[in-house]
Amino acid sequence: MMPTEPQAGWQDADPRDAGFDPAALDRFTGKLQSLTTTSFMVVSRGRVIYRHGDVSEASYLASTRKSILSLLYGPHVASGRIDLDLTLDQLGIDDVKGLWPAEKRATIRDILTSRSGVYYPAGSPGGDDAGTPPRGSQAPGTRLHYNNWDFNVAGAIFEQLTGIAVHDALRDQLAVPLGFEDFDRGRQRMLGYPDRSRFLAYHMFLSGRDMARVGLLVLRGGRWNGQQIVPESWVRDCVAPHVRPAEMHGQFTGRGLGYGYYWWVPMHTEAAEWQGAFLASGHYGQFVLGLPKLDLLMVHRRAISDERAMRRNAGIDLGDLPSVSSTQMVALGQAILDCRDGVSPRAGTTPPPQQP
């Protein structure tokens, strides 16, 4: 089966032509039915070989937005409009109650790896808030702390240096050239707590099949239908492990995940199929998992209503919902690999119970 990219719509392919057992894929559906999954999609060499649920339903991406933002950076880094070595001080970045001089030494590169050393309260919920170190305790560039202050200020820096709103860039740099089928510019929103921080979250609402186009773009090294949408070198940097699993702290310890420029890097196994893998991960269960060695892509959605997303980001309803974790997504990825013809399922491929 020759590699391709979708045009107006996705092409389906017989899973047997991609080396997958249809009966095994049917059994895989049972795994999804035990979770809170609302849709799941598998793309092999640019064609859909499996879908479950409504992949056209657009909903809240949560932190998957961050991986998309990193792709938006690419053309502007290449053009010189964004210099990753600029510091917060040089950019004139400050916040409501003021940043400390040491914090202002953080560079854009530090921010894109969530290692700014700025532990100022974020303007939106989420991140490893419970594991936040004391302010001033870590120098910029030395420790990953997954936090929304870094992610939100990255959006503000993008807008400051390019003069383009993040959601307009999403439309013009990705949605239009990749042919998103379900994109609505009016649904993309800035959400958060403006009284706490100047930097709010640039939330995105996309469908599973449009997320798959983003994932396929990364698999293709930023190239789409003969056009280089994102520089290949930038795509490689985004999914390279700038932070290794052993350097993780807090809730991310022991997951076998590295971290690039807002993309997670599965490094839990030496198996050839997983070499070069990348993962975009969002709360509740929003995932894009790519396996370049097999030209294979998976998209998992756990749809959340716009109302719920807005209430959460306004601080009104911070209670959690049953979700699918990144560990479970990696297990689902292995379960799909085990659906290949002649492959015996590996031990431990059943996803662990869903998270409360």
- pLDDT at position 126 over 60: yes
Q: What is the pLDDT of residue 130?
A: 81
Phi, psi of 306 (to 5 degrees): -60, -40
Does the pLDDT value for residue 122 go beyond 70?
A: yes
pLDDT score recorded for residue 354? 47
Percent of the chain past pLDDT 70, that is, above it, reads: 96
Which pLDDT belongs to residue 351?
52
Which CATH code is given to the segment(s) 54-315? 3.40.710.10
| Structure confidence by residue, pLDDT tens digits, 5-53 | 999 999 999 999 999 999 999 999 999 999 999 999 999 999 999 999 9
- How do the domains of the chain map onto residue ranges? 54-315
What is the arithmetic mean of pLDDT over 299-320?
92
The pLDDT mean for the chain works out to 95
Cα–Cα dist 5/231, whole Å: 18
Three-class DSSP category at 187: helix
Pick 333 or 344 by higher pLDDT: 333
At 91, the pLDDT band (50, 70, 90 cuts) reads very high
Of 88, 81, 10, 87, the residue nearest 49 (C-alpha): 10
Output the pLDDT for position 344. 63
Query: What is the tens place of the pLDDT at every residue in 141-167?
Result: 999 999 999 999 999 999 999 999 999
Write down the pLDDT at residue 216: 99
Taking the model in full, what pTM does it have? 0.95
Span 253-279, average pLDDT: 98
pLDDT at 346 over 70: no
pLDDT in tens, 173-216: 999 999 999 999 999 999 999 999 999 999 999 999 999 999 99
